[in-house]
Structure 1
Amino acid sequence: MLHIMSQDTGKIGALQTGLFANDYREEPYWWSAAPLPSADENNEPAGLGGRADVVIVGGGITGLVAAIYLARAGCDVAVVDAQRIGEGAARRNAGFVGRTLKRSVEWLAQKSGREHALKVYRELDAAMRGVQAFVEREGIECHYQTCGRFIAANSTAHFRALIAELEQTRQAVGFDYSVVEKHDVHAEIASDSYHGGAVIPDLGSIHPGLYHAGLVRKALDAGVRLYPLTNVVGIDHTANEKTVRTSRGDIAAPHVIVATNGYTSRDLRWLARRVIPFRGFVIATELLPPETIDKVIPRRRTYLDTRMNIDFIRTAPDSSRILFGGMTGTASPTATPLAGALRDRLVRILPDLKGVRLSRAWTGHCAGTFDFMPHIGTKDGVHFALGYNFAGIPLGTHFGEKLAARILQRGDMSSAFDVEKFPTVPFFNGSPWFVPLAMRYFDWHDDRIAKG
């Protein structure tokens, strides 16, 4: 019998018929094909201390892409991570590759000028396209595909707002889309939950575990030193050098990058006060008959809805399963207690999946910012890229290259995501106690729009 344990709720119980498959475990689905590397696989050096040309804090997508470019340019690069390499969001995210921000072109134009708004969205488009180019150039086998995305409208009012925003974006920067009326929704997804939507044809998907595993291999081949299970407790500054203080000793370098996103330690106080960590939750179904998937998701795109607190769906690229995410920001340290509620939400959207069992459920940290925008920049000589707001794969890849270019002082170093002010609020110290309240507010706001 399978017993699932939770530190909050105690024993959930023996294997529940209709909920957990025989192989259920709380672990990212992606780890089946891309298990976390052991210390031996990382070729982990015996000790950390001493020096490097560049120390990178965070072994996710941003950190490893930067490390690859820097090491190939001749730099001695050390990457330190508080967890095992790849244990964070890099191998936990949903694998969506898009160019979506929480701030629209028109909102940015009104806030900071049309020229800046256009630069932001053009760079976001370049970042998205850059993922495919990077994967192809490096020969990383990670199921990258341009599958398109269906954005489903949760109400008639949401539908009108969605099409208006997409049309404004098309006129501003030329991004194509097609309208899906309510009576045509079943051509995209077998659901009666939506009031129409839109297809953005050139967005993609990826197997994030295999992508990150490929980055690890490329980094090791380039001579990057990887130090997992190494907590950074501070960074000291002198005129020409920084000292990164860690749980395994100090290491000095003229250049330091912090790329920790939702896993930013409060020991890095200035940055921790500017990123808002919150949990995302994802489930993966048991193996399904291919004809079932063809029925409920006939075009096998990526799918999300128009609410601020989105539900999202995709098929697994390497097996016959459906992945579903939702209940973002819920205050649960583990995913298993939410597995039943997540499955119920999935079945409400796709009734044909009634009775489906789950093989995986997992959680991980995302990161937002107080202005809902990603940021790249420098503070006290330390480079950073943080606050991806659900655009982690394209911007993580893109910002990794940008950070390397800035250290090497060559190539295109500019970014529309550079800002003079990285906002925070008084008394925020990195503890996201207010996130569940914010999510409830977003739910209320979306309901208000729906009632329109």
Structure 2
Amino acid sequence: MFADDYLEEPYWWSAAPLPAADENTQPVSLGGRADVVIVGGGITGLVAALHLARSGCDVAVLDAQRIGEGAARRNAGFVGRTLKRSVEWLAAKSGRDHAVRVYRELDTALRGVEAFVERERIDCHYQTCGRFIAANSKAHFQALIGELEQTRQAVGFDYSVVEKQDVRTEIASDRYHGGAVIPDLGSIHPGLYHAGLVSKVLEAGVRLHPITNVMGIDRNASGKTVRTSRGDIAARHVVVATNGYTSRDLKWLARRVIPFRGFVIATELLPPETIDKVMPRRRTYLDTRMNIDFIRPAPDSSRILFGGMTGTASPTATPLAGTLRDRLVRILPDLEGVRLSRAWTGHCAGTFDFMPHIGVKDGVNFALGYNFAGIPLGTHFGEKLAARILQRGDMTSAFDVEKFPTAPFFNGSPWFVPLAMRYFDWHDDRIARG
């Protein structure tokens, strides 16, 4: 099952290895102050830091791990504008104008990634490859096309229908009951994207402080004091951009994001013609279940990446690697006998209303709860956070709401996530049965 070069670590780290624990690390004690302290060295934090530093701010980025060790270099590299809440659901909940604003901002975030990559000249294999969404049942197919048509009528996003008999023009599988192609969605090498951001912020003079746990943020007359495992640092502004890695020491925020694990495997090197056979358009692929399976070709080698079993209560990926491989082969039987070169896990984050949020609490700016839209919204929210601190540019966001919901007695422990995933599986099976 495992190739000779098998490792339990993200595939992306081969091209974008993490720095050593002491590389780019500031002195052991933080001390002093900064104009802006950013908690979280992922995409959101580094994009915000870059804009702020180039505008003359002294910026310090703190991260509990090595810079890039979290979700920034662990995710699947899908770039889309998909939410778990549809246009019609949002329209019924908060009005059609708000629903349209949300999806238009998602589109802005999607297009902003490509523009940012081009502007900064970050070599990270960004491409507009399109996405195929595969329907798990006839009922899922009808629901998918209905939702895509509602979205097209509301905001004009294009799609094309793929009938059941034509699925193999997109993916070599007989498991699906049709699907749809969204042509303008993209993919990226998240490791190289984040590594490029690290290089840019260092050039701009940002101070990076890895292996620095934040234990609290206090307000005072002159601004704020961030208490950390390496001493205190004072700042005029503080940003929290930790998503699925939000510490329970940040109690208010930790009670509002639900961390859960995602799992991904990468195959051994395959003949290019095999990938062309099973994924002839070389798009990104996912299905219509709430707890999705997702597939993509690696952008820089002849491998296939597959993810699923999200929310499973396993601290490591290797125990699930065989099951994930078997699921991949059931979808793509031509991969029978394939071996694995990588398996990994990392923290994602959901919210109780299935919506990302950006806002301010007690003078602290935050952007959290990406619900699988981390690359586009992380980039977009990083720019928004910088604009708000600088008080210039477009500071508004449809995701900025007064109420960031939580649940009674929730303290940041995601003990219920496996149960929720089983419920979603039951619900999807119920839909499939009509």
Identify the TM-score tier after normalising by the shorter chain. Answer: over 0.9
Give how far 1:39 is off: 5.0
Which residue of structure 2 lines up, in the alignment, with residue 234 of structure 1? 216
Matched, 1:355 2:355: no
1:379 to 361, 364, 376: 361
Higher mean alpha-carbon deviation, 31-40 vs 218-227, is at 31-40
SS in 2 for 1:274: coil
Which residue of structure 2 lines up, in the alignment, with residue 440 of structure 1? 422
SS in 1 for 2:76: coil
Which residue of structure 1 lines up, in the alignment, with residue 288 of structure 2? 306
2:25 and 2:249 map into 1 onto residues whose CA distance is 28
Matched, 1:322 2:284: no
Matched, 1:409 2:374: no
Asked whether the 8 Å contact 1:67–1:224 carries over to 2, the reply is yes
Give how far 1:46 is off: 5.2
Asked whether the 8 Å contact 2:21–2:211 carries over to 1, the reply is no
Q: CA RMSD in A?
A: 0.8
Asked whether the 8 Å contact 1:58–1:258 carries over to 2, the reply is yes
Matched, 1:52 2:50: no
Structure 1's 118 and 240: CA in aligned 2 closer, same or farther, altered over 3 A? farther
Which residue of structure 2 lines up, in the alignment, with residue 80 of structure 1? 62
Q: In percent, how many aligned pairs have the same letter?
A: 88
2:22 and 2:321 map into 1 onto residues whose CA distance is 34
2:78 to 96, 99, 103: 96
Higher mean alpha-carbon deviation, 240-249 vs 317-326, is at 240-249
Which residue of structure 2 lines up, in the alignment, with residue 252 of structure 1? 234
Which residue of structure 2 lines up, in the alignment, with residue 13 of structure 1? none
Which residue of structure 1 lines up, in the alignment, with residue 268 of structure 2? 286
2:15 to 30, 33, 40: 33
Which residue of structure 2 lines up, in the alignment, with residue 12 of structure 1? none
TM-score normalised according to structure 1 size: 0.95
Corresponding letter in the other structure for 1:287: L
1:195 and 1:436 map into 2 onto residues whose CA distance is 27
SS in 2 for 1:52: strand
Asked whether the 8 Å contact 2:58–2:206 carries over to 1, the reply is yes
Matched, 1:153 2:135: yes
1:418 to 400, 414, 420: 400
Corresponding letter in the other structure for 1:35: P
Work out the number of aligned pairs and report it.
434
Asked whether the 8 Å contact 1:378–1:384 carries over to 2, the reply is yes
2:217 and 2:61 map into 1 onto residues whose CA distance is 14
Asked whether the 8 Å contact 1:30–1:91 carries over to 2, the reply is yes
2:211 and 2:228 map into 1 onto residues whose CA distance is 10
Asked whether the 8 Å contact 2:44–2:381 carries over to 1, the reply is yes
1:272 to 249, 254, 273: 254
2:21 and 2:179 map into 1 onto residues whose CA distance is 46
Give how far 1:42 is off: 2.4
Asked whether the 8 Å contact 2:278–2:332 carries over to 1, the reply is yes
Give how far 1:324 is off: 0.1
Corresponding letter in the other structure for 1:182: K
Corresponding letter in the other structure for 1:307: R
SS in 1 for 2:366: strand
SS in 1 for 2:53: helix
SS in 1 for 2:125: coil
Corresponding letter in the other structure for 2:213: N
Matches within 5 A, 1:163-242: 163-242=145-224
Structure 1's 321 and 247: CA in aligned 2 closer, same or farther, altered over 3 A? same
Task: Please identify runs of 4+ aligned residues in structure 1 that moved more than 2 A.
Answer: 38-47
2:23 and 2:269 map into 1 onto residues whose CA distance is 30
Which residue of structure 2 lines up, in the alignment, with residue 3 of structure 1? none
1:215 and 1:409 map into 2 onto residues whose CA distance is 23
Which residue of structure 1 lines up, in the alignment, with residue 88 of structure 2? 106
Asked whether the 8 Å contact 1:45–1:225 carries over to 2, the reply is no
User: Which whole-Å deviations, capped at 9, do the CAs of 1:11-62 have from their partners, x for residues lacking one?
Assistant: xxxxxxxx10000010000000000023564263554111000000000000
2:52 and 2:7 map into 1 onto residues whose CA distance is 38
1:294 and 1:300 map into 2 onto residues whose CA distance is 7
Asked whether the 8 Å contact 1:274–1:369 carries over to 2, the reply is yes
User: Which whole-Å deviations, capped at 9, do the CAs of 1:142-173 have from their partners, x for residues lacking one?
Assistant: 00000000000000000000000000000000
User: Which whole-Å deviations, capped at 9, do the CAs of 1:247-297 have from their partners, x for residues lacking one?
Assistant: 000000010000000000000000000000000000000000000000000
Asked whether the 8 Å contact 2:36–2:57 carries over to 1, the reply is yes
Matches within 5 A, 1:112-151: 112-151=94-133
User: Which whole-Å deviations, capped at 9, do the CAs of 1:204-224 have from their partners, x for residues lacking one?
Assistant: 000000000000000000000
Give how far 1:240 is off: 3.8
Unaligned runs of at least 5 residues, structure 2: none
Structure 1's 112 and 239: CA in aligned 2 closer, same or farther, altered over 3 A? farther
Asked whether the 8 Å contact 1:97–1:205 carries over to 2, the reply is yes
Corresponding letter in the other structure for 1:154: N
TM-score normalised according to structure 2 size: 0.99
Asked whether the 8 Å contact 1:235–1:242 carries over to 2, the reply is yes
Unaligned runs of at least 5 residues, structure 1: 1-18
Matched, 1:67 2:49: yes
SS in 1 for 2:202: helix
Corresponding letter in the other structure for 1:363: T
Matches within 5 A, 1:5-20: 19-20=1-2
SS in 1 for 2:359: strand
1:422 and 1:337 map into 2 onto residues whose CA distance is 35
